[in-house]
Amino acid sequence: MNQTRYSNRKIIIGSIFSMILLIYVIKLFTIQVMDSSYKMSAESNVFRKVVDYPARGLVFDRNNKLLVYNESSYDLLVTPNHVEPFDTLDLCEILGVSVESFRKEFQKAEQYARYKESVIFKQITKHRYSHLQEKMYKFPGFDVQKRTARKYEYTGAAHVLGYVREADTAVINHNPYYKAGDYVGVTGIEKSYEEQLRGRKGLKIYVVDVKNRIQGSYKDGCYDTAAIVGENVTSTLDIDLQMYGEKLMQNKVGAIVAIEPATGEILALVSSPGYDPNLLVGSDMSINYPKLERDKFKPMYNRALLAMYPPGSTFKPINALIGLQEGVINVNSSFPCNGGFSIGSHVVKCHHAGSLDLVSAIQHSCNAWFCYEFTKIIGDKKYGRADSAYSNWRRRVQSFGLGKILNSDLSQEKRGIIYSKDYFNRFYGEGHWSAFTIISLSIGQGELSFTPLQIANACATIANRGYYYIPHIVKEIDGGNSIDQRFFEKQDTHIRKEYFDAVIEGMYQVCEMGTGRAARVPGIKVCGKTGTAQNPHGKDHSIFEAFAPMDNPKIAIAVYVENGGFGAQYAAPIAGLMMEKYLTDTITRKDVEIRMCNANLMDANAQMKN
């Protein structure tokens, strides 16, 4: 019996040891074969992987003028355990940083890893690096990593070109390509074409000793990969026109958008006030960005794409076209005007008196004529009710690219405002509103707000006699890569081409004998429409849209000058100068140019004088 008990104990003890041995075997198998994290940890103590950063692609204008290129910059690296006593003040003077700032960054590096190299200061300029290089022998434990920084050839077009900055946590978490220390496009072309411009990172693998000192390339570099430079981009921008527009808009708040109607290519996109894109490059960005953000005139705000303004009378040609297509008017339709249009106690005032046909109504911008026409559109019996007729009218308006996202290749774009019938049904009650309730829409006021980009595109649509191409800012990408196919697809308004003739004739008369005379270009037929957008916060906004020449148009333009008063006062002459500059490359009306350039609407006193 004792023998049996002894045998059982041996079996139990043997089983326990076998189980322990099995657990150790499984654990070792998991560590060495199944779990790669241990392998990676071990490898990280033997290898150092150094990223080879590619240069970003260059950006050119439509005439192959260089807009954006790269300049060498350098990151200062430190391995804390390799650092020997050095002159801290001397190094700080070379870097242009305070001793306190240096010590703070050095402590961060020590906390990160004493035996590993880490970046302590980023994007040191070429000038500072040249001084540092001469004295690097004085600073053991420090090293330099070559990078590239963006450089902008011109001091303008910041909202178009955009800027780059270090990828933040949100970007890194969203896209596995980016790691800490990488740079990414944030706005403009730099953002929209980030994948093409960024290139592809390379990698070099080095063998290091226990103190992380490089001993040589791993397997003679057979596993290294070379960085691939980013692709060059040719933009649709005409930089000379762009810079001229910024000159005309200096000391003013507003926007200019110019489009080539035949292609949808954006020739100029001015948001004023703007800023020098070189302010957001390198180490100076941390100083300049907060200053730009705090500026009361918001120079970083892209008014061309984000600001929404009532279109005012620039909207009247579109209402005329919708009326013609719906058959509620014809080119000879005449409505009376005795200083305005009355609805009970409400009066829509007008400066004109007498009856006008369609062409004359556009030429003289008669509010009463367009109020009468709008009542016919919304009161059209074939739709049964006002809300159904309104929905059809809204659909027609949106076919001009108004009140909807245009889907351009610019990273920021507002939808604009043109409410659905549900909005008015909620506000007034279903069946309790009519054309008279929303009569302000007939003259581009009330519940309408569009961006300058949308107004310029709508003008290009009229210039094309009924269609547009989606506005875009990039013309070509190197390497045989074409831009998105959507930019070559016609967006049709489904308004018959013959209806545009009378409307365009009216716009031509605006510039010949009407309120748009300030936009005339010698020897070229210009078609345009002035507008004055009511502004409850101060002086009205000056608006003008135009295209030229009348036949086979080469440019369509929209100009908004905040607090500029009547459309003829600032927007029309600025648009005229822009068209003359683009079409003839000369300026004949130097007096107008000087007056526009010198006008200061950002100064309260100058505003009062104007």
Work out the mean pLDDT of the chain and round it to a whole number: 90
Pick the residue with more confidence: 310 or 112?
310
> Class for domain 48-157+203-235, per CATH?
alpha beta
Enumerate the domain spans of the chain.
Answer: 48-157+203-235, 239-276+304-609
Portion of the chain with pLDDT greater than 70, in percent: 90
Asked if domains 48-157+203-235 and 239-276+304-609 share a fold, the reply is no
Q: Quick check: helix, strand or coil at residue 592?
A: helix
Name the band, by pLDDT with cuts 50, 70 and 90, for residue 608: very low
Most confident option among 280-289, 346-355, 413-422: 413-422
Residue 239 has pLDDT above 90, yes or no: yes
Q: Tokens 């009062």 belong to which residue?
A: 608
Positive or negative: CA dihedral 37, 39, 44, 50: negative
Residue 324 has pLDDT above 50, yes or no: yes
Reported as type and span, the H/E element at residue 187 is none
Q: What is the pLDDT of residues 136-192, one digit of tens each?
A: 999 999 988 888 889 999 999 999 999 999 999 999 999 999 988 889 999 999 999
Query: Residue 319, Cβ neighbours under 10 Å: how many?
Result: 24
**196 DSSP β-pair partners:** none
Q: Tell me the pTM.
A: 0.88
What does the pLDDT average to over 535-545? 86
Q: What is the pLDDT of residues 28-47, one digit of tens each?
A: 666 555 554 444 444 455 77
Residue 277 has pLDDT above 70, yes or no: yes
Structure tokens at 581: 């500059």
* Pairing, β 164-166 against β 183-185: antiparallel
Residue 363 has pLDDT above 90, yes or no: yes
Q: What is the pLDDT of residues 480-534, one digit of tens each?
A: 667 899 999 999 999 999 999 999 999 999 999 999 999 999 999 999 999 988 7
Q: What is the pLDDT of residues 375-434, one digit of tens each?
A: 999 999 999 999 999 999 999 999 999 999 999 999 889 999 999 999 999 999 999 999
Q: Is 541 exposed, middle or buried (0-12, 13-18, 19+ CB in 10 A)?
A: buried
Asked which of 350-354, 437-441, 586-590 is least confident by mean pLDDT, the reply is 350-354
Among 330, 258, 263, which residue's Cα sits nearest to residue 501? Answer: 330
pLDDT at 27: 65
Tell which CATH classification among 3.40.50.720, 3.40.50.620, 3.40.710.10, 3.40.30.10 matches the domain 239-276+304-609: 3.40.710.10
Q: φ and ψ at 437, to 5 degrees?
A: -65, -35
Burial 492-520 (b: 16+ CB within 10 A, else e): ebebeeebbebbbbbbbbbbeebbbbbbb
Task: State the Cα–Cα distance between residues 254 and 307, nearest whole angstrom.
Answer: 9
pLDDT at 38: 45
